[in-house]
Chain A
Amino acid sequence: MLNNQGRPTSAGEAAAQSHPTFTGNRALIIEEALLFEIGRPETTGVDVPAPKAVKSRLGGQERKAPIGLVGLSEPETMRHFVRLSQKNYGIDTGLFPLGSCTMKHNPRLNEKMARLAGFADIHPLQPQSTVQGALELIEMLAHYLMTLTGTEAVAMSPKAGAHGELCGMMAIKAAIEAKGEGATRRVVLVPDSAHGTNPATAALIGFEVKPVPARADGTVHVKDVKELLGPDVAAIMLTNPNTCGIFEPEIVEIARAMKKAGAYFYCDGANFNAIVGKAKPGDLGIDCMHINLHKTFSTPHGGGGPGAGPVVLSKRLAPFAPVPFIRRKGKKLELVEHAADAGKATPFGRVTAFHGQMGMYVRALAYMLSHGADGMKQASEDAVLSANYIRAGLQDLMSVPFPDHPSMHEALFDDTWLKDTGITTLDFAKAMIDEGYHPMTMYFPLIVHGAMLVEPTESESRASLDLFIMALRDLAMRAKRGETERFAGAPFHAPRRRLDETRAARNPILRWVPPQPMQQAAE
């Protein structure tokens, strides 16, 4: 007798109907409770041996009450975090055109190298004779950074871009004070189009921030800078390529004017990835620039960090670089950790404990060695080419605020083209989510109304760029046709619909608290 029966393999008439599920799950999109709702105080996913029997020496400071933490076994832990991960969009998921953030491919070789025990499992304070290879790596990375930027020195230790900015501005302040001008040079010029970190950094260390207007073509003109220059100006903080994705054409003249006025040029290097191997910021006349290793040199963004922000310095700022730094002593490399050991240099201080983001250095150097001088140049060219290709593919439908300049690594659009549609930049971006794309950077830079900043990076194939362009064209045409519902309610297909940020801010709930017992709630 037959033990195999045929059965229908098509869905039949009920196929079109979707219905709520008992669990609230939707196939691969699985709802996951908070750790504190599923964990138990007595559960643990590690097997810790029993402690040795000794007489405690805690000085009577033992913790008495329970902490309130909960644990999960290993399989539960795995499932909890895997399910969470499935609610995230990453570069490995799809095109991630987040302007200014440079979401390029993160090579896994870099991860493997950073996990070599000789890098990952060494202590920052173990004897220097036992970490010569680590110092060698930092020195090599420093050499690469100085070569690519055409500068004389680099302070390696800053932990991220904004921290690098702070370090660079501290070096400038120290240099000004060394010249006895600390009391008079108190103004820092910052263009309207700058990243928010620039004015925040300058203000943090006591500078007065004076805005420089951007011209109608999206760039800063040397004439406007000169008008603001005087004996009270300490520095300018200028992003290049700027936040509109344009290379500042008058940057050399601006640098010259700053130097002539006895002031310094801080270059925000957030967009350095556009010109690596194409131009050296040092040749342009800048005094210092931080480099976001997590943007330009592909160390992973990791959902918001960790980053790394080494800052390169000109000859006139180099003596003020903070400790620690590496010095060659015969065949050995030496970490200088104290100002007293700095020789002729006059470090302004220290910006972090230990020596900086070693794990990120290894990844960045692996990227640089892999690409080489030729590959890094090619990567910059491909990033710029891809951004301009997207611009060319969309500019008849979407409005380009600064058409007179080619884009560098990112293409900027404004919301003029959405006028009278009732659809905002935010709505348009949220509709991109339904199409399987991460939105572009929105509402930045501030000088452009409803800004949309698209940065494809060099990591996309032409087919991927073409599909992206077609998807955005389709959305743009629907927007112009007045299909507002598709936009106003978007996203429809993400793990969550639009979230109520007003509610979150009006009544902040910043941690889990145990639900109140029923009777207490009733009182």
Chain B
Amino acid sequence: MTTRYTKDHEYIRVEGDVGIVGISDYAQAQLGDVVFVELPDVGKTVAKGGEAAVVESVKAASEVYAPVSGEVVAVNDKLPDSPATVNEDPAGAGWFIKIKLADKAELDGLMSEAEYAEYLKSIA
């Protein structure tokens, strides 16, 4: 199991050929209290870097971009009713979507845990 990060602060945790996508702890803290989440339909094909979901706090709205290309095979149905989960447990219960990876090589361009930590330091 590996977790990779994007510069837009999405993470993807790869389990087999499926990646679980959410936003990082840093991203949820920057957004503030999440009040609304809009998820794609299961079965939708997303392209790497394309818009996959929307997350909103009281004063900010942000697109969640797909870290990799592939088909959306599951969405976290519980989020729309309890968006606070994104703040409480972004890496766990606050996940957004599961993508069936079209090309595992796309993961290579993403940051590792350690690289992401360095990246956060660099933008602080």
Contacts and interface: CB of A to CB of B under 8 A. Distances in A.
- Answer whether A and B touch in the complex at a CB cut-off of 8 Å: yes
Contacts of B33: 502, 506
A501 interface: yes
Interface string A430-466: 0000000000000100000000000000000000000
A445 B84 CA distance: 28
Interface in A451-508: 501-502, 505-506
B116 interface: no
Nearest to A443: B59
B83 interface: yes
Contacts of A502: 32-33, 35, 57-58
Nearest to A506: B35
Given A443-B59, A502-B58, A506-B83, 10 more contacts: A501-B58, A502-B32, A502-B33, A502-B57, A505-B35, A505-B36, A505-B56, A505-B58, A506-B33, A506-B84
Nearest to B32: A502
A505 B57 CA distance: 8
A500 to B, nearest CB: 9
Interface range for B: 10 to 19
Interface in B39-79: 56-59
Interface in B18-45: 32-33, 35-36
B42 to A, nearest CB: 24
Interface of A: 443, 501-502, 505-506
Contacts of A501: 58
A501 B35 CA distance: 10
Closest 6 CB pairs of A and B: A505-B35, A502-B33, A501-B58, A506-B35, A505-B58, A502-B58
Nearest to A502: B33
A443 B59 CA distance: 10
A270 B97 CA distance: 42
16 contacts: A443-B59, A501-B58, A502-B32, A502-B33, A502-B35, A502-B57, A502-B58, A505-B35, A505-B36, A505-B56, A505-B58, A506-B33, A506-B35, A506-B36, A506-B83, A506-B84
Nearest to A426: B59
Contacts of B84: 506
Contacts of A506: 33, 35-36, 83-84
A502 B32 CA distance: 9
B103 to A, nearest CB: 29
A505 B58 CA distance: 7
Interface string B82-124: 0110000000000000000000000000000000000000000
Nearest to A505: B35
A502 B35 CA distance: 6
A505 B59 CA distance: 10
A501 B59 CA distance: 9
A501 B32 CA distance: 11
A505 to B, nearest CB: 4
B81 to A, nearest CB: 10
Contacts of B58: 501-502, 505
A420 to B, nearest CB: 14
Contacts of A505: 35-36, 56, 58
A506 B83 CA distance: 8
A294 to B, nearest CB: 25
A505 B56 CA distance: 10
A506 B36 CA distance: 7
A503 to B, nearest CB: 9
B33 to A, nearest CB: 4
B84 to A, nearest CB: 7
A203 to B, nearest CB: 14
Nearest to A507: B35
B34 to A, nearest CB: 9
A170 B22 CA distance: 40
A130 to B, nearest CB: 50
B15 to A, nearest CB: 30
A425 to B, nearest CB: 12
A405 B83 CA distance: 44
Contacts of A443: 59
A516 to B, nearest CB: 21
Contacts of B35: 502, 505-506
A360 B58 CA distance: 33
Q: Give the one of B33, B56, B83 with max A CB within 10 A.
A: B33
B20 to A, nearest CB: 24
A415 to B, nearest CB: 15
B29 to A, nearest CB: 14
Contacts of B57: 502
A521 to B, nearest CB: 21
B47 to A, nearest CB: 19
A27 B48 CA distance: 61
A502 B34 CA distance: 8
Find the residue from B35, B57, B59, B83 having the highest chain A CB count within 10 A: B35
A443 B60 CA distance: 12
Contacts of B36: 505-506
Contacts of B32: 502
A161 B36 CA distance: 30
A506 B32 CA distance: 13
A408 B84 CA distance: 43
A505 B35 CA distance: 6
Contacts of B59: 443
A454 to B, nearest CB: 21
A443 B32 CA distance: 15
A519 B59 CA distance: 39
A508 B57 CA distance: 13
B30 to A, nearest CB: 13
A318 B47 CA distance: 45
A506 B58 CA distance: 9
